[in-house]
């Protein structure tokens, strides 16, 4: 009962927190302005669009999980921080595409993300954390892989920075689940 009440409170605070993450959006402005002048080649715009689609998916996963009532207040608080990071990544990437004269790729519907990520099968907080860990690992690796496809070093720098954010999310979730850190080095991108 106590736990249920906690989750209800957490759910109510979800929307308030979700609006607060917008406050951090200014942090990405500098990053975008540095990289924006570098985006001239269609190939680079294509890579950014793929990354943007990845961020849309991450945002949807955290938003849907945040509203599910499955997360304890402590985990929800962490999820909201990560959600904010993904929203800032999204805004930075979308800005780059717009500045280059492109149309940023749109997110899918929540229903599509629920089907794509099989979110309906999540029953516990552990399920959510396990999925988030997998997605963050995939995202960190995807950014590393895509660096090689970029023609501009400033964009590569931006992608490396985003990958480091995803890796931090992965490590935090990994630790929260009590999973030992892998012994072999080169945890991502191989």
Partner 1 sequence: MNSLQTKRNRLLVIACLLGEVLCAGCAMAIEPAAEGHTLYQNQCGGCHSVETNRIGPRHRGVVGRRIASVPDYDYSPALKQLGGVWTPSRLDLWLSGTQKMAPGSRMYLALDDAEQRRLIIAYLQSISGTDGSK
- The residues that touch partner 1, with contacts defined as CB under 8 A, are 42-43, 46-47, 49-50, 53-54, 57, 115-118, 134-135, 137-142, 145-146, 148-149, 188-190
Q: How far apart are the first and last CA of the chain?
A: 45
Give the nearest distance from C-beta 186 to partner 1 in angstroms: 10
Which CB sits closer to partner 1, 83 or 140?
140
Give the nearest distance from C-beta 113 to partner 1 in angstroms: 9
Give the nearest distance from C-beta 55 to partner 1 in angstroms: 10
Which CB sits closer to partner 1, 52 or 71?
52
Q: What is the DSSP letter of 178?
A: T
Which CB sits closer to partner 1, 32 or 60?
60
Query: Could you give phi then psi for residue 132, rounded to 5 degrees?
Result: -60, -40
> Six-digit token pair at 121?
């099968």
> Six-digit token pair at 189?
């991108």
Give the nearest distance from C-beta 107 to partner 1 in angstroms: 12
The sign of the dihedral angle between the CA atoms of 36, 40, 42, 47 is negative
Helices 73-99, 2-20: crossing angle, 10 deg rounding: 20
Q: Please count the other Cβ atoms lying within 10 Å of the Cβ belonging to residue 33.
A: 12
Which CB sits closer to partner 1, 21 or 45?
45
């Amino acid at each position: 009962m106590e736990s249920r009440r906690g989750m209800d409170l957490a759910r109510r605070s979800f929307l308030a927190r979700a609006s607060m993450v917008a406050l951090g959006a200014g942090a990405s402005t500098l990053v975008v302005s540095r990289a924006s002048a570098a985006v001239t080649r269609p190939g680079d715009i294509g890579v950014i669009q793929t990354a943007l689609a990845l961020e849309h998916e991450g945002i949807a996963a955290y938003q849907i999980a945040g509203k599910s009532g499955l997360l304890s207040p402590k985990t929800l608080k962490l999820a909201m921080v990560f959600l904010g990071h993904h929203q800032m990544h999204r805004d930075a990437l979308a800005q780059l595409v717009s500045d280059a004269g492109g149309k940023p790729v749109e997110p899918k519907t929540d229903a599509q993300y629920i089907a794509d990520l099989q979110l309906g099968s999540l029953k516990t907080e552990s399920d959510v954390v396990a999925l988030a860990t997998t997605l963050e690992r995939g995202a960190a690796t995807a950014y590393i892989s895509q660096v090689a496809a970029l023609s501009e070093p400033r964009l590569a720098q931006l992608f490396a920075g985003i990958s480091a954010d995803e890796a931090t999310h992965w490590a935090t979730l990994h630790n929260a689940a009590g999973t030992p850190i892998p012994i072999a080095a080169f945890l991502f991108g191989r």
